[in-house]
Amino acid sequence: MKIIVNGEAINSDAPSLAALLEDLGKGEAKIATSVNEAFVPKTLRATQTLKDGDRIEIVAPRQGG
């Protein structure tokens, strides 16, 4: 299926948000995620299914001042 991750179109067979994050090497990273502009907490990533055309945002916190 074709999905959009942080504005970039990719092809993925990941059935869930958690699986997608693992595929992208971000499974254990401290990040915030959303699917189609709806926040998805870490506890729900495994049950958040993905479908063709979904828009996923992955944001990592930054330090600084």
Average pLDDT over residues 4-13: 98
* Number of independent structural domains in the chain: 1
Domain assignment present for residue 11? The answer is yes
Average pLDDT over residues 10-35: 96
Domain assignment present for residue 22? The answer is yes
Domain assignment present for residue 64? The answer is no
Q: Is the pLDDT of residue 65 over 70?
A: no
Domain assignment present for residue 9? The answer is yes
Closest CA to 17 of 49, 42, 41: 49
Here the tokens at position 53 are: 């055309």
- Where residue 38 sits, what CATH number does that domain have? 3.10.20.30
The rounded distance, in Å, linking the Cα atoms of 7 and 56 is 8
Supply the pLDDT for residue 5.
98
What is the extent of the structural domain holding 32? Answer: 2-59
Q: Is the pLDDT of residue 63 over 90?
A: no
How far are the Cα atoms of 38, 61, 63 from residue 49, in angstroms, in the given order? 13, 24, 31
Domain assignment present for residue 65? The answer is no
Query: Which run of H or of E encompasses 29?
Result: none
State pLDDT tens for residues 33-57: 999 999 999 999 999 999 999 999 9
- Gyration radius of the chain's alpha carbons: 11
